Structure 1
């Protein structure tokens, strides 16, 4: 009978007060091995005398071996083993999980993981009796300061107390953990930095370098507002996010933040025998758990369309001398975002490994505000695009019918003497609602609301999503503001003391229904409400994440969510849609440049005034808008284009004309 021996290893933590972090390595379970060998014997049967004889022989043999090993440890190798027992310990390190990457809807990779070298600190080397030794930490900081330059400045300038706080919090969080915790203090080291750190290793107690990975964003500015970026974990992260380790990175903005837990995966653990300085003395570690890769994320975006829209918006912004802009194309039947851009933007690769103070200051001081995602956070008046919602609501409520007519004059005075005009002082004569949308008549919608009631319109605006976030899966969205008597009073009593709290049925109501006054919207709200008009009554939650896929190719779809159903009757939507069609394709169309592009487009423009008023009573600045949907007969996409301080709406129309022409040519419709 051949005897085979095995060992079960257990790692435990010493409770000694002055050697709190020492680790007892191995414990052999002799009883387990005796039973295993007995049961493997062909002569084995329960209760047989043979069993007792074999058990005695096995136990005696194992006991003799154990005595011999103890003798060798205590006598032959006594001094050597004593030194090891006092100076060696076991460290448990994380095996970083592969962070999931992101793809567009067609499988184009949008994010990559590339090799990177990180610098880590063993926190137990700076703890005495459970307290952080700030003096030692200061010495290490000074030594590394001359080597790491920008890296260390980003991490330690004015933050030495924060590092102590990190250590203390990690101790508290992992106080019951049977392993030590290290902290990533710098990432993406250069070759020169690695060489200098290794040369100074004798001065750097508990500091080590290890290979890892970092994010790389090949599309830079085109996707930075959507993808976001990752950063090294902080003390606050460890306090608030359960799944993080102190050596992890964490999503800071964009989808990296929104879906951080799914992308991050789960780190594995490996145990190493190390000397008192923390250097490994064994060639192989003991794997305690394998890492679980993060899930890959597939997006609703079409990267070809994303690149084209960014290029068109960039050109349109520069040509119109706008300060910035945004553009969105959305699937009207699901809320999927096919393309969403903001301009100007920033290169999110700057933040990998810590952005330099110089680069960050430059971004913060840039007057064009490249860190702002205008697609979801620009809150501005909607201009005449607002009329699409007002027309739908009034038709549904019965305030007007398709045949209700009002006469358009160049302008007229309210009872308080204020002048209300058509844009450029045009006079359009007698109009119904379709005609009013065609030529974008201010007077028609002013007459509409004077014969109706602003408080009756407000609930419809809420149904269309005005004054609340859409819930798109990117952090940082703003809610805009509903133009209502209640909100005017709130503004007057708080942030805008110069504003009269009284709502004037003529001036305030007329300004509001043409997208001026106190009402504010975002580009994502606009594309979403127009999508609801196109699909005749369903307001979807816009989203960019489509589905997750794990390493075994198992797919988990992200469900489509509906924010509002049955906003209005189908007839109301059909009439509003007809007006938007006529604005592009009808007689006297105000947006005829979107006609005859190979697909039938329905749209509405807006020129939203803001800023100071000149001597003639005209605003000196305007935002340019265009919104709509296509194809008209079977709507598939809605869109909104916004140019901040971009002049007349025709500047926004040019961008969308270029985009639709390209989409038709490339077969994207």
Structure 2
């Protein structure tokens, strides 16, 4: 049935109104949704971004455990101790200054400390943890952990820190670690990422520095989940790093401690070496310092005290010190003359107490002279004139060549800082260095280890070892790495005629054991351990003609800095050499009186493997030696007195 036109028209009007109504409702809904979306997406963007990132993942480097340094017997020289510390991460902390201020109510933080930390946070990426305090006690450490909700970005951590349990004994040779500096990074072509960790510590001097690559190890990583306020929620996973290699040195901790105590308050150096393989058993510079001070942050007062000390405790005199070797150099001149064929062991020279050359007079140490002397007596009584005469015949270039064959004037390769090359002068060297011709007077001075000749205690020890064996002994300091022995090649001959070498050895034996020997006061009473040696006294001032005429002022009447250096080299046993040693005592006076007894004690300590018994000393010296050895106060790392220090 058809609908009436009027009904159709009414129905259309109702549909249009409903469509318009529905369209209006939909438009309104879209408008409301759009407004809400704008509110959430624009006006509340920061809040919702924070909520979206409430639980985030951070990746952090784990510093590797530094390798241990031990002596030849496995005794700890450098290790790691537990370190309670606290760090702050700028990205998680927000207002770093505010958080540090809160933290200062728990642990002591000065305004200067906080300024340094703020500076450090700005220098590094916002997600890098910056150390705030180290070596916290347990109470402070736990209080920080309890207050973590109020300290966003602050994390208490348990790490490791370097420690030197024998403090002063190995300070110069082992060195110490300290924070990586811009200068350190500038010297590395492709720095390990672990070096960018703020205040990460690396070796600064000595073995710690030169074996840094194997001691450091490789960093690990950890993934942690942190919430919006920077609090660590959990550790998701961890990849452990590779610890550094453990290094065992050739040094003997007990001998090192003995000789450190034996040098006492002197400004001195002592080196003791095994002549069979070049192992350095002890290398001591005195006075020393505590390397732990540098690891923990040395105070200005302590540092100034070390820098201003007249005995220079920060300098390693064993390898950095270059001294005129004095009469210890006479073996070099003698062997050069013997090898050149200008003298024989039986050749003699008359010593009236001086040598006149041109308008100058070169004096012997003995004012009245020694009379007629041969090679053995020239060494035994240390006659200077004998060497003045033979040096003119052999010439400085051959003397310098012999010196280098015996280990002088060359830089020995050891993992130590600023090793001196010393100086073996030649005609060409003087022309190049001083733009002047070499003179005969220069040769005369050099013949007795004065003038331009310079040597370190290490070089003097190598010389003594090579004279003792006739072999090109090379010093070494590293015995093994991670338990793997460092290979050494058998030493080659230095090419000296055995008969001529024995002639010099007999002279060194007479120095200590002959009735007129200059080193007789340092002789050993045990016939199985007799020592060969040579004393030396190096002048540090010029003696005027007027002073010689009126009488040379003795060392003990001079200010300390104007006194002669005392030197002595030796090896033992004389018939089957095992150890060689050299001692330099700065401004100590006579080498035979001051340095000789220390060389003897060093050799005896190595030969006996313990504190030398009194029977090793001449009967008339035993009372004095008993008191001296008792007063050394040798101690274990825990501070107790070991039995070995008791006579």
Matched, 1:462 2:404: yes
1:534 aligns with 2:468: yes
Q: Which residue of 1 aligns with 2:438?
A: 503
Change (3 A) 1:611 1:156: farther
What SS is found at the alignment partner of 2:292? helix
Q: Give the 5 Å matches for 1:615-634.
A: 615-616=546-547, 620-634=562-576
1:161-190 per-position Cα deviation (integer Å, ceiling 9, x unaligned): 77755x27xx9xxxxxxxx54344553345
Task: Tell me if the contact between 1:581 and 1:632 (Cα under 8 Å) persists in the aligned partners.
Answer: yes
Instruction: Give the 3 Å change call, closer, same or farther, for CA 114–502 of structure 1 in structure 2.
Output: same
Name the counterpart of 2:161. Answer: 214
Is the deviation greater in 299-308 or in 202-211?
A: 202-211
Contact persistence 1:113–1:215 (CA under 8 A): yes
CA contact (8 A) 1:626 1:641 kept: yes
Paired residue for 1:101, among 39, 52, 68? 68
CA distance in 1, matches of 2:114, 2:351: 64
2: CA distance, partners of 1:298 / 1:393:
38
Counterpart for residue 204 of structure 2 = 252
Aligned: 1:428 with 2:370: yes
The residue aligned with 2:40 is none
Kindly provide the CA deviation profile for residues 220-272 of structure 1, in whole angstroms up to 9, marking residues without a partner as x: 11111122111223344445243634333211122111222222222221110
Relative distance call for 1:367 and 1:186 in structure 2 (3 A) is farther
Counterpart secondary structure, 2:366 = helix
Distance 1:433 1:117 in 2: 66
1:392 is aligned to 2:335? yes
Equivalents in 1 of 2:410, 2:503: separation in Å? 26
Looking at structure 2, the residues matched to 371 and 163 of structure 1 have their Cα atoms a distance apart, in angstroms, of 33
- Could you give the per-residue CA deviations for residues 546-603 of structure 1, whole angstroms, max 9, x where no partner exists? 1012xxxxx2222336897525333332222121112112342221123333211110
Task: Tell me the distance in 1 between the aligned counterparts of 2:311 and 2:444.
Answer: 32
The aligned counterpart of 1:576 is: 504
Counterpart secondary structure, 2:61: strand
Aligned equivalents of 1:390, 1:467: Cα separation in 2: 14
Quickly say closer, same or farther: Cα 1:564–1:454, change in 2 above 3 A: farther
Partners in 2 of 1:667 and 1:607 — Cα distance? 30
The corresponding residue for 2:237 is 286
Aligned alpha-carbon RMSD (Å): 3.4
Alpha-carbon separation, structure 1, partners of 2:129 and 2:308: 36
Query: Do the aligned partners of 1:643 and 1:652 also contact (CA within 8 Å) in 2?
Result: yes
Distance in 2 of aligned mates of 1:154 and 1:454: 60
CA pair 155-510 structure 1, distance change in 2 beyond 3 A:
farther
User: Which of 494, 500, 503 pairs up with 1:566?
Assistant: 494
Pairing 1:20-169 to 2, within 5 Å after superposition? 84-122=51-89, 165=123, 167=124
2:454 and 2:109 map into 1 onto residues whose CA distance is 41
| TM value normalised by structure 2 | 0.76
The verdict on how the C-alpha distance between 1:343 and 1:463 changes in structure 2, with shifts beyond 3 A counting, is: same
1:623–1:646: 8 Å Cα contact kept in structure 2? yes
The match for 1:639 is 581
Partner of 1:379: 322
What residue is the counterpart of 2:176 in the other structure?
Answer: 229
- Is 1:605 matched up with 2:535? yes
Find the residue that maps to 2:467 and give its secondary structure: helix
- Between the aligned partners of 1:352 and 1:521, the Cα distance in structure 2 is 32
Q: What's 1:301 paired with?
A: 251
In structure 2, distance between residues paired with 1:246 and 1:151: 25
| Higher radius of gyration, 1 or 2 | 2
Q: CA deviation at 1:471?
A: 1.4
Alignment of 1:402-413 (within 5 A): 402-413=345-356
Is this contact kept in 2: 1:258–1:473, CA < 8 A? yes
Question: Which residue of the partner structure matches residue 595 of structure 1?
Answer: 523
Equivalenced residue count is: 547
Tell me if 1:513 matches 2:447. Answer: yes
**Which string of whole-angstrom CA distances, capped at 9 and with x for unpartnered residues, describes residues 433-457 of structure 1?**
2221111111011101112211222
User: Relative to structure 1, is the Cα distance of residues 347 and 120 closer, same or farther in structure 2, using a 3 angstrom cutoff?
Assistant: same
Question: What secondary structure sits across from 1:99 in the alignment?
Answer: coil
- SS of the counterpart of 2:446? helix
Paired residues of 2:63 and 2:219 also in contact (CA < 8 A): yes
Aligned residue for 1:113, secondary structure, equals: strand
Q: 1:380 to 1:185 in 2, by over 3 A?
A: farther
Contact residue 229 and residue 348 of structure 1 kept, 8 A:
yes
Q: 2:326, 2:65 → 1: CA distance? A: 47
Alpha-carbon distance in 2 for matches of 1:137, 1:489: 64
Alpha-carbon distance in 2 for matches of 1:95, 1:527 = 44
Matches within 5 A, 1:183-194: 183-184=130-131, 186-190=133-137, 194=141
1:93–1:597 Cα change, 3 Å = farther
Q: Distance in 2 between matches of 1:526 and 1:150?
A: 51
Give 1:216 shift.
1.8
- Is the CA contact (8 Å cut-off) linking 1:95 and 1:270 kept in structure 2? yes
Give the Å deviation of 1:382.
Answer: 0.5
State the SS of the aligned residue for 2:157: strand
Distance 1:327 1:274 in 2: 56
CA distance change for structure 1 residues 140 and 562 in 2, over 3 Å: closer, same or farther? farther
Equivalent residue for 2:7?
A: none
1:105 Cα deviation from its structure 2 partner: 1.4
Q: Secondary structure at the match of 1:352?
A: helix
- Residue 601 of structure 2 is matched in structure 1 by 658
Extract unaligned runs of 5+ from structure 2: 1-45, 554-561, 613-647
TM-score, reference length from structure 1: 0.74
Contact conserved, 2:93 with 2:229, CA < 8 A, in 1? no
- Please give the alpha-carbon distance, in whole angstroms, between the structure 1 residues aligned to 2:91 and 2:497: 68
Distance (Å, rounded) in 2 between the aligned partners of 1:266 and 1:151: 34
Aligned to 2:558: none
1:347-358 aligned at under 5 Å gives the runs: 347-358=290-301
3-state DSSP of counterpart to 1:281: strand
Instruction: Name structure 1 gaps, 5 residues minimum.
Output: 1-78, 128-135, 172-179, 318-323, 494-500, 550-554
Residues 160-179 of structure 1 aligned to structure 2 (within 5 Å) = 165=123, 167=124
Once residues 401 and 252 of structure 1 are traced to their aligned partners in structure 2, the CA distance between those partners, rounded to angstroms, is 51
Deviation at 1:293, TM superposition (A): 2.2
Q: Secondary structure at the match of 2:540?
A: strand
